[in-house]
Amino acid sequence: MTQERIIKQTIEISEMYYEMATRSFENAKLLLKKDQMSFKEFEEIIENYYQPILTFSSKILVDRNTMVINELEKYIDEIQNLTDNLSVASKKLQKSEEIFVGISFLLASAASASTFTCAPSKTSYLASMITIECSIENIKLLNKKSNAKRVLSE
């Protein structure tokens, strides 16, 4: 794997977290506009989730430090695949409750991915992989529960 490819992958992973955070922010803004979320809740999302995810997203980027890149090479494909899956799952977060719970999982995943890229090792990779996998499963469960509630209320 070339150094340039690894750098490109970290940029793509960073962009995915940025996009997930932005999508959650936009959905929260819509709920605020429709009076389905209070301004305080909206503010909490911005301060406690959106901004930290953007911070972690920027830390995922790596420079051309050969030592770090050599360590990333073993694991970066799997982290990118998991982040892709997380992005797909998170697109379904629409309601206030879903956004609050789901964005917590996005924050945990972004933090673990940035920890891995800052200090790549087998341990940080496993922690990142498990965190992202758990986030994907929990968001899927959240979506199922929300869909079940919607069907029962109809």
Number of domains in the chain: 1
DSSP character at residue 14: H
* CB burial readout 47-65, b (16+ within 10 A) else e: eebbebbbebbebbebeee
pLDDT at 40: 94
Distance of CA 54 to the CA centre of its chain: 10
- pTM, to two decimals: 0.82
Using the structure block, give the residue that is written with the tokens 């997380």. 86
Q: How far is CA 99 from CA 10, 67, 116, 131, in A?
A: 25, 38, 25, 18
Give tens-digit pLDDT for 74-111.
Answer: 788 899 999 999 999 998 888 888 888 899 999 999 99
Domain that holds residue 118: 3-153
